[in-house]
Amino acid sequence: MKSGQLEKPSKLEPLAKDYIKALIKEAVDALREELKTEIISSMAGRQIQEKGDTNADKLRMDDLESEIGKLWARYREDDKFTMTRAKIVNWMEKNRIE
């Protein structure tokens, strides 16, 4: 389900929509920073290694590609990023929004 399909039926006020967007953006930015840190530390470690050790580099790149794939799958499928009617209703009740 796309966010545009939920926007009208949710009847959320613009401020509530902005809050939800900011919450999701913070979570995605945290994941991005985590991945960026991992890549930078990997690159620094690789520079320390001997230049002739290309097999270790290939294995490390395979590991990084695997981790990136896992992160993308988690991002796409993670329940935290899925807006459902029940979650919106619970959030509205929690924040006393009518």
pLDDT band at 5 (very low <50, low <70, confident <90, very high): confident
Residue 17: domain span:
3-94
For residue 94, pLDDT beyond 80: yes
| Mean of all residue pLDDT scores within the chain | 79
The closest alpha carbon to 63, from 41, 47, 30, 32, belongs to 41
C-alpha distances in angstroms, 84 versus 44, 45, 57, 98?
A: 42, 42, 42, 17
pLDDT at residue number 95 = 86
Give the span between the Cα atoms of 14 and 81, in whole angstroms.
Answer: 19
Q: Mind listing the pLDDT tens digit for each residue in 32-70?
A: 888 888 888 777 666 665 555 567 778 888 888 888 888
pLDDT at residue number 53 = 58
Which tokens hold the place of 40?
């930078």
For residue 25, pLDDT beyond 60: yes
| Amino acid (1-letter code) at residue 58 | K
| pTM score over 0.85 | no
Give the total number of structural domains in the chain: 1
pLDDT at residue number 59 = 82
